[in-house]
Structure 1
Amino acid sequence: MTSALIENLKGALIVSCQAYVGEPLRHPETMAQMARAAELGGAKAIRCQGLSDIAAIKGRVEVPVIGLWKEGHEGVYITPTLRHAIACVNAGADIVAIDATDRPRPDGRTFEQTVNDLRAQCETLVMADCATIEDIRRAVAIGCDLVSTTLSHGVAAIDCTAADGPDLDLLRRACEEFPGHPVVCEGRVHAPQDVADALEAGAWAVVVGTAITHPTSITSWFVEATK
């Protein structure tokens, strides 16, 4: 049964507010301000990473917060262990996003064990960040509240160096295979038309990050047009 919180995200825009070490906007208060601006613009949820950002944003917005904790840059680094997931809940996340691939995790748990152990210890919703239809099947089988195409390009959605658009093929396949299950489109959603196309393809909701909250990348797109 779909929770009321997930039901309220149907047809919605979710905005990802993330900045990393060394970037000009890397500060929890800045991310909280960004999140509040996105909320005022109509975002129905905020996706963010890092315990300080989760806590700061949770204190600033009224919409749900999807929290994750990235550690490292290779392998499983989106909320890679149970410890990371529990910490996200304790920081205030309403939904915890977890890498749903079958790659080895630092604590030796499988994705399924991580989700089951998290639910045994915390009352939370889970968003499965997937790369393939097999990941989505695995996540649906264990009852993840949301499944997402976040990792379907082989890199995390924050990497916006490519401009080939969202993975609508995977999105359509997942929506056809699991009708009615909340499937989220995330990754390289760079324009309003991408959002419209994703919703038409069956997305429950669409996550936009870089195109709204990463001015360095947005500027580089315009600069590229001058060359």
Structure 2
Amino acid sequence: MTNENSITTLKQGLIVSCQAPVDSPLHQPKIIAAMAQAAVNNGAVGVRIDTPIHINAVREGVKVPIIGLWKQIIPKYDVYITPQFDHAAAVAQAGADIIAIDATTRHRPGGETVVDIITRIHQELGKPVIADVDTIESAKAAAAAGADIVATTLYGYTPKTNNDSPPCWELLTQMLEELKIPVICEGGISSPQMARHALNLGAYAVVVGTAITGIDLQVKNYQRVMQNGG
């Protein structure tokens, strides 16, 4: 699949994030691969997968574009979604078609900048980049740095936005108005109606994770409300 096709295939579709907490029994390559296959069998146009081993397992069973990332906790740094080029290279080697990176304005480990990592992914790996952002400022900077797609993934998860809960329709609208590259809505989409609303606003595609595949978090939420009354 060419880079252009991998992006075009996502247009107006549902991308399912198939991930599980590290301490969950679901955090196994075969189970993540089964989740991905089930999503694709029912119409998902792409899947978002964390870690090379899971990407490799999913690649064996699906032909749709895989958005690959590698979450890495590095001491003294808040950036954790594919924080360094070496992580991007491992994701590409595992079979990802598109690489997702944290493209917020926070400091990155190893002295790399967003421009550095996007440039190297393009030149050395030949893969398009999805820039996960939190604000309109980081979205514009990521587009200027060469990102192929921007996504609202990190809204609500950074110091600048952690008092807010996704989805942020205002941020999505701003990004659509001010950027010339595809904008994906990710974060806080908990119903088909919300996903449709994102498309109606102009989102290129929609990513849904927890509401579809997040058994651990969903059960915790049910338990919390049922036991505590809210």
Q: Same fold (TM over 0.5)?
A: yes
Equivalent residues in 2 for 1:93-112, closer than 5 Å: 93-112=96-115
Equivalent residues in 2 for 1:21-100, closer than 5 Å: 21-72=22-73, 75-100=78-103
Give the structure-1-normalised TM-score: 0.91
Mean Cα displacement is larger for which, 29-38 or 116-125?
A: 116-125
Aligned to 1:149: 152
Match status 1:219 vs 2:219: yes
- SS of residue in 2 equivalent to 1:70: coil
How far residue 224 of structure 1 moved from its aligned partner, in angstroms, is 4.5
Aligned 8 A contact 1:81 1:105 in 2: yes
Look up the equivalent residue of 1:183 and give its one-letter code: V
Distance (Å, rounded) in 2 between the aligned partners of 1:131 and 1:200: 21
How far residue 107 of structure 1 moved from its aligned partner, in angstroms, is 1.3
- C-alpha distance after superposition, 1:169-205 (max 9, x if no partner): 10000001125x2100001111112101111111100
Aligned to 1:185: 185
Aligned to 2:121: 118
How far residue 143 of structure 1 moved from its aligned partner, in angstroms, is 2.7
Look up the equivalent residue of 1:221 and give its one-letter code: N
- SS of residue in 2 equivalent to 1:112: helix
Distance (Å, rounded) in 2 between the aligned partners of 1:144 and 1:38: 26
How far residue 167 of structure 1 moved from its aligned partner, in angstroms, is 1.2
Q: Name stretches of at least 5 consecutive residues in structure 2 with no aligned partner.
A: none
Equivalent residues in 2 for 1:120-139, closer than 5 Å: 120-139=123-142
Distance (Å, rounded) in 2 between the aligned partners of 1:4 and 1:85: 20
The change in CA–CA distance for 1:164 and 1:113 in structure 2 (over 3 A counts) is: closer
- C-alpha distance after superposition, 1:129-168 (max 9, x if no partner): 001111111121133111000001125xxxxxx9944111
Distance (Å, rounded) in 1 between the aligned partners of 2:95 and 2:217: 29
Aligned 8 A contact 2:156 2:165 in 1: no
Distance (Å, rounded) in 2 between the aligned partners of 1:87 and 1:225: 40
Give me the CA root mean square deviation: 1.8
- SS of residue in 2 equivalent to 1:124: coil
Aligned 8 A contact 1:146 1:183 in 2: yes
Distance (Å, rounded) in 1 between the aligned partners of 2:43 and 2:191: 16
- C-alpha distance after superposition, 1:72-113 (max 9, x if no partner): 176111000011011110111000000001211111110111
Distance (Å, rounded) in 2 between the aligned partners of 1:13 and 1:69: 21
Give the structure-2-normalised TM-score: 0.89
- SS of residue in 2 equivalent to 1:107: helix
Aligned 8 A contact 1:64 1:94 in 2: yes
Look up the equivalent residue of 1:25 and give its one-letter code: L
Look up the equivalent residue of 1:199 and give its one-letter code: L
Aligned to 1:210: 210
Distance (Å, rounded) in 1 between the aligned partners of 2:38 and 2:210: 15
Number of residue pairs aligned between Structure 1 and Structure 2? 219
Q: Name stretches of at least 5 consecutive residues in structure 1 with no aligned partner.
A: 156-161
Aligned to 1:196: 196
Mean Cα displacement is larger for which, 163-172 or 54-63?
A: 163-172
